[in-house]
Amino acid sequence: MNDFPAKSDIEILVKLQEAETQIVRLKAVLIKVEKEKEKLRATLNQFEYGVEENKEKLLRTMAACRDTEREIQVIDDRIIKSNEKLRMVKTNKEYNLFLREVDDNKKRKDVLETELLELLDENESMEKFSLESEKEFQLLKDKIEAEQKEIEKKTLDDRELLDEYLANQRKIGKTITTSVMNKFVKISKMNNGSAVVGVENEVCLGCFMNIPPQLYIEVQRGHSLISCPQCSRILYHINT
Interacting residue ranges for Zn ion, rule: CB under 5 A: 204, 206-207, 228, 230-231
Residue (126 or 228) nearer to Zn ion, CB = 228
Question: Is-contact 226 1, C-beta < 8 A?
Answer: yes
Minimum distance from CB of 223 to Zn ion (Å)? 20
Residue (90 or 213) nearer to Zn ion, CB = 213
Minimum distance from CB of 206 to Zn ion (Å)? 4
What is the rounded CA–CA span in Å between residue 155 and residue 169? 21
What is the rounded CA–CA span in Å between residue 25 and residue 18? 11
Residue (114 or 230) nearer to Zn ion, CB = 230
In order of 118, 124, 139, 168, 236, the CA distances from 127 in angstroms are 14, 5, 18, 60, 72
Minimum distance from CB of 25 to Zn ion (Å)? 20
Residue (48 or 202) nearer to Zn ion, CB = 202
Minimum distance from CB of 224 to Zn ion (Å)? 17
Residue (30 or 207) nearer to Zn ion, CB = 207
Minimum distance from CB of 231 to Zn ion (Å)? 3
Minimum distance from CB of 197 to Zn ion (Å)? 7
Question: For residue 140, which phi and psi values (nearest 5 degrees)?
Answer: -65, -40
Beta strands in the chain (DSSP E): 196-200, 203-204, 226-227, 234-237
In order of 22, 54, 202, the CA distances from 155 in angstroms are 14, 37, 40
What lies within 8 Å, CB to CB, of 151 at 6+ separation is: 33, 36, 37
Residue (206 or 222) nearer to Zn ion, CB = 206
199 burial type by CB count under 10 A (0-12 exposed, 13-18 middle, 19+ buried): buried
